[in-house]
Structure 1
Amino acid sequence: MACMSKQKETTPQQVRAYYLDQIDATDTLIKQLDTKIQNNGTSNELQVLFKSARIAYKKVEFLAEYYNPLTAKAINGAPIPSMDDNDQHKIDQPEGFQMIEPYLFPEYNHSQKQELIEQVGILKANLVRLKSMATHQELANEQIFDALRLEVFRIITLGISGFDAPIAQNSMAEGASALNSIEKVLKLYEPEFIGDKRAILVQAQSSLKKAITYLTASKDFNSFDRMHFITTYGNPISSSILDASMALGNEKFKDLRALRANAKTLFDKDAFDANYYTASYDAHSSKEKSELGKELFYDAILSGAGNRSCGSCHRPEMAFTDGKMKSDALDGSQVRRNAPTLLNAGFQPALFYDNRVSYLEDQATEVINNKDEMHGSLPIAGQKLKKNKDYVLLFKKAFPNDADPINDYHIRNALGSYIRTLSSLNSPFDKYVRGDKSQLNPEEVKGFNLYMGKGKCGTCHFTPLFNGTVPPDFKTIETEIIGVPSTPDSKKIDPDLGKYDLRKLDLYKNAFKTPTVRNIAMTAPYMHNGVFKTLEEVIDFYNEGGGVGLGMDIPNQTLPFDKLNLTQKEKKEIIAFLKKLTDNTSF
């Protein structure tokens, strides 16, 4: 009697089997942690199990984040409440590893045993949910390699900064675990790399082995050389994984993304696509739209009295700010907030300090209509523009398929298109991470390492955009409550309630968007109210732990309020690095 042989598994099926095994391994360690808590284990025992469980999860992370991001957030999301995307009156409470960590580190407090048990129970349930979804998840080669590269970017931007392990500071071991998982997956593909393709795979595997060794040998969070890791290991790994994917014949991704799917590294000159942050394909920028938008940007015709343009408060020589605490209002007083830079504004999913609009077109509308800023009218401006022969020609070129090209939306879209050209991603820092080691000196490199490590700057102002747009998918932008004072020497928080004015939720009181620190040497004064005149003042504020660290009562502060204990030398090094984020090549 003939027997049918078992059909050989495809490589994606083998990857899924590996994925399921690692979920089981994580689940087992969490159950052991639960048992040890129930049996009154020591602080050290619980910490060891917790670290082991997170290291196990890091082998799962690349696929969990790719295929099931909501569940991944529940397992390892930021430990702060957030508004429910489907119900603006409902608050989602944080769950997962990052909620458990403060119960165990720096020491376990037995009086919180019941709360800890509850959190671990939630985590166990979420791992069950992940396993259920993973069991039925169909994987594809293109997606697997895409997920691997995104995990490398996640390590570079979030992992080595301590973003998701701020207290345990086990980031190097966790990064090594994530890379080990990438190595295991690539090994499953070995039979498919035949002939000349073999060398491409070997290059990727060699880079991974060296990176894992480097991370494993690095025991101290604060002294870890992040710049060396990124330039020597991180960038080559992301590049070689892309090469390996192409060698297997995986098609290039054609979907529109903020970070182009086929960028070799995070730091490529054209790695980011501002068109991702538009409302539709029709809103995408073009050379003709941008040229028209530039003319409109500097033309006072858009203001009610014809005496102010966008460029009045966003001046190129000041990195598109105006150097004032708060810009002048039309009546001689001040507008509500400091004028932020427009450089790289096109790489943000929300705009204004309170994130109240999603698109540059809507930002333009609000500014033009605002009685304190421009007090204009788009319909009236449109009528004026139609009487100008030069503008009629420019609008026809920019919107050739429209019978009546001069209208409200096209004015806004042209302005947005121009602002999207204000890309500023070619600073000395960028050139350094692309390979030109002459661009930064040792002090500035040390400053970057402090920025990404001990200084904790990189956990809010994320590399490489250095704003609050969260990597590696760059779809959302964070707001933070840091306790900015009303005056430099005040112990009282600034009265501006920020995002709370839009969403009457306590978690948003005094919440403001995390702005970019690119070109920060040109954009003083700082903060939403312009309260600090120098970078030294800004660093001192953070070094003290923000508003709470200065003695303010801010129960919802999201900035860690423990002191950073930066030395004077370290503060100078961070500032030296920040100044190397200056890039005026686009204006």
Structure 2
Amino acid sequence: MIYFRISLVILVGMALSLISCQWSSSTTSLAYKLSPASLAMQVLRQYGQDLTQLDSAVARLRHAVATGQQAERQRQAFLAARRAWKRVELLAEYYSPSTAKLLNGPALGEVEEFDQQQRVHAPEGLQVLETYFYPALYKPAQREEVLEQVAFVQSSLLGLHHAAETLSPTDRHLFDAARLEVFRVMTLGIPGFDTPASPGAVPEAAEALAAVQATIAPYQPQLRTRHPSLAVRLDSTFRAVQAYLGHSSAAHFDRLEFLVAYANPLSQQLWAMQQTLGIPAFKEVRALRPDAGSLFEVGAFDAVGFAPTSTVRPTVAQAALGRQLFFDPVLSGNGSRSCASCHQPTRAFTDGQAKSVAYGGRGVVLRNAPTLLNAALQRTQFYDGRVSFLEDQVASVVASPVEMHGSLATAARLLSRNSSYRAAFAQAFATEPQQTAVQEQHVKTVLAAYLRSLIRLDAPLDKYMRGQREALSPSARRGANVFLGKAKCATCHFLPLFNGTVPPGFERTEAEVLGTPARASRRPRSLDSDLGRGGATGIRWQEHAFKTPSLRNIALTAPYMHQGAYRTLEEVIDFYDQGGGAGLGLDVPNQTLPADKLHLTTQEKHDLVSFLHALTDTAGLGHSAPRRLPQFPSAMARLNYRKVGGHY
């Protein structure tokens, strides 16, 4: 079985190498060339040497396990292998992401959604190995399992070696990869995403950032010539980063201070160096803009990077028209309910209900109304993630019998009979061939354009990260470190969006099984019956999984969880502190949230709430609703009695 896996990984690695070679060849000719290829090749040679060092570290780990060395020596060998991985992570993640995931993916089983047999693929790699060494050493009977995992890591490394032989890195790619690695350290490394049980997050961050320094080292002589003061600042920052990391233990590490005082300046100075050397950023549309110098700078994220097409950017006119329609009940089946009925701006676009009132007041819908602020910055919509794009979400909500019980086709016909709306649509789509009637697709487009305008990333935390140290209270600063450290919140609610969209690529939004009980209780009797993602896909392993929502504006969006089980943030924190449903005694075999208790103190819980309040940003929402709605001709006079925002 081991040999089969090794052969399979080698074949995968060779295929990835070919793809990587073709991709590199096609892009190299387009990339700006600052320097002779020898500079980039210096980086590639260092990468090869680091891969060889990783090979050796994994071999030493295998020897330590095979010979049954003392527990502490085996752990040290494991930690050394992980640190060696961090030296190659920068280019491995950039050029060979699939192989990188095999080597360092989460220790969670996965089921391919197209697999009708629903086979659970057991996780493999370094994070799985961690579970054998922490918190307790594996049992002697498990030694062969550990050796099998080590063999898998070694075989995966062959794929990286093959890919490295064919790479042709350019200046632009290397600087892009370097800055992304800093962002990876900030969002995944420091919070302990890939070291959930071991104490290696801080020293691993030091290794990863040392690799960043090595990557840009060949270019520093030119920087010293062109911008001596920036070269001095950058050298000083790298020394300060290593000193701060080198004198900190995981238990007492001030993660917030590291982010604001060390990591942020480092990424900004790397971007300044790239600009000074005349190396342009990529022009492609990405979720995180290619020219973002910091994760927390204004405009770092581009909502179009999450849209179904990045070739057409929403216009101001389209967003304004979408805003008008958002508050207009004309979209609903009875002309009474609007989008704003359940997504109220004064409540951060929620409704304050455990479950939203159903259409016509007949009962409630399955789940509550999530905030729409920053909803555009995620890869899936709805709690069960059943659609990918806002346009599809709009269509689903309008057609839902329990939500708006309408039809986009019917709405388009009604809007076509309103001269104001007809003119507004003509203006919003002036670059397209003129239509005599409002198009169904255009209705979806303008509503999605409005939702993409609801980006709010200027909370007190954002201000603090931009250097306004007075923006956070002492309690909120302590709470930030609880969030990033002991409470492990940031391993699911990733910085800086605080949702489940995984940085630094922001290409997927994760769902988690928390074991949410049917009712809030310290001794719950049953798991909530909602199957969540599993209900949408039919995959048993995904039953009770729900999309990780944004925590931005969380102080305004009570009650919490998909069905409003918890009324306060304190209750939610206590649920996590107990280890979710499994920690409370419920049978949740597929729970992805660790069932271990966090042992948060009363003060830590209080500080955590203070920090969550510092994620509030509802700027400019006080005048969201239009003053009046367009009037219909006398033949449709009944529609002229509709209310702005509709009825609940």
TM-score, scaled relative to structure 2: 0.88
Show structure 1 runs of 5+ residues with no match: 1-7
Is contact 1:328–1:334 with CA below 8 Å preserved after alignment?
yes
Give 1:3's aligned residue.
Answer: none
1:129 corresponds to: 159
**What's 2:586 paired with?**
552
Deviation of residue 90 (structure 1)?
Answer: 5.2
Q: Would you say 1:98 and 2:130 are equivalent positions?
A: no
Correspondence 1:11 to 2:39: yes
How far residue 246 of structure 1 moved from its aligned partner, in angstroms, is 1.4
**Aligned partner of 1:66 among 70, 94, 101:** 94
- State the match for 1:382 in structure 2: 412
Q: State the secondary structure of the residue aligned to 2:94.
A: helix
Go from structure 1 to structure 2 and tell me whether the alpha carbon gap of 1:345 and 1:254 turns closer, same or farther (over 3 Å shift). same
Whole-angstrom distance in 1 between the partners of 2:283 and 2:190: 30
Give SS of 1:512's match.
strand
Alpha carbons 2:113, 2:537 under 8 Å: kept = no
Structure 1 counterpart of 2:466: 434
What corresponds to 2:264 in structure 1?
235
Shift of 1:252: 2.0
Matched, 1:159 2:193: no
The equivalent of 2:279 in structure 1 is 250
Shift of 1:40: 1.2
1:50 aligns with 2:72: no
1:531 aligns with 2:565: yes
Alpha-carbon distance in structure 2 between the residues aligned to 1:179 and 1:172: 11
* Other-structure match for 1:29: 57
Moved more, 91-100 or 427-436: 91-100
When the two structures are aligned, how many residues end up with a matched partner? Answer: 579
Shift in Å, 1:277:
1.2
CA–CA separation in structure 2 for the residues paired with 1:282 and 1:19: 35
- The superposition leaves residues 145-176 of structure 1 with CA deviations (integer Å, 9 ceiling, x where unpaired) of 11010010011111110110011121000000
Whole-angstrom distance in 1 between the partners of 2:45 and 2:336: 67
Residues 342-391 of structure 1 show CA distances to partners (whole Å, capped at 9, x for unaligned) of: 00001011100011101000000000000000000111111100111110
Choose from 290, 305, 309 the match for 2:338: 309
1:84 partner SS? coil
- Code of the residue aligned with 1:425 in structure 2: it is L
Query: SS of the residue aligned with 1:80?
Result: coil
Q: Find the aligned partners of 1:448 and 1:142 in 2 and give their Cα distance.
A: 34
Aligned AA (1:301):
V
Q: CA deviation at 1:222?
A: 3.2
Aligned-pair RMSD on alpha carbons?
A: 1.4
The one-letter amino acid paired with 1:132 is H
Cα distance, 1:70 vs structure 2: 0.4
State the one-letter code of the partner of 2:465: V
Q: Confirm or deny that 1:138 pairs with 2:168.
A: yes
Query: Contact 2:348–2:372 (CA<8 Å) still a contact in 1?
Result: yes
What is the one-letter code of the residue matched to 1:421?
S
Paired position in structure 1 for 2:148? 118
Give secondary structure in 2 for the equivalent of 1:564. Answer: coil
Structure 2 vs 1, CA of residues 329 and 367 (structure 1 numbering), >3 Å: closer, same or farther? same
- Which of 214, 217, 222 lines up with 1:184 in the alignment? 214
Partner of 1:403: 434
Following superposition, the deviation at residue 193 of structure 1 comes to 2.5
Matched, 1:275 2:304: yes
Q: Which runs of 5+ in 2 are unaligned?
A: 1-35, 622-648
Structure 1 partner of 2:574: 540
**% identical aligned pairs:** 42
The alpha-carbon deviation at position 13 of structure 1 amounts to 0.6
The more displaced of 185-194 and 240-249 is 185-194
Summarize the alignment of residues 317-466 of structure 1 with structure 2, pairs less than 5 Å apart: 317-331=346-360, 332-400=362-430, 401-404=432-435, 406-466=438-498
Paired residue for 1:78?
A: 106
Q: Does the 8 Å contact 1:183/1:208 carry over to 2? A: yes
From the superposition, tell whether residues 86 and 31 of structure 1 become closer, same or farther in structure 2 (CA, over 3 Å): farther
Aligned to 2:237: 207
1:480 alignment partner, SS class: strand
Alpha-carbon deviation of 1:253? 1.4
TM-score by length of 1: 0.97
Aligned structure 1 segments of 4 or more residues deviating by more than 4 angstroms:
85-91
Superposed CA deviations along residues 53-87 of structure 1, whole A, max 9, x for unmatched, are 11111010011111110000001111112233775
Match of 2:319 in 1: 290
Task: Return the alpha-carbon distance in structure 1 between the equivalents of residues 517 and 471 of structure 2.
Answer: 36
**Partner SS, residue 471 of structure 2:** coil
Aligned counterparts of 1:117 and 1:282: Cα–Cα separation in 2? 49
Amino acid corresponding to residue 540 of structure 1 in structure 2: D
Matched, 1:41 2:73: no
Asked if 2 retains the 8 angstrom alpha-carbon contact of 1:278 and 1:284, the reply is no
How far did 1:496 drift? 0.3
Query: Is the CA contact 1:222–1:450 (under 8 Å) kept in the aligned structure 2?
Result: no
- SS state at 2:225 partner: coil
Between the aligned partners of 1:194 and 1:327, the Cα distance in structure 2 is 61
* Structure-1 separation of matches of 2:215 and 2:323: 48
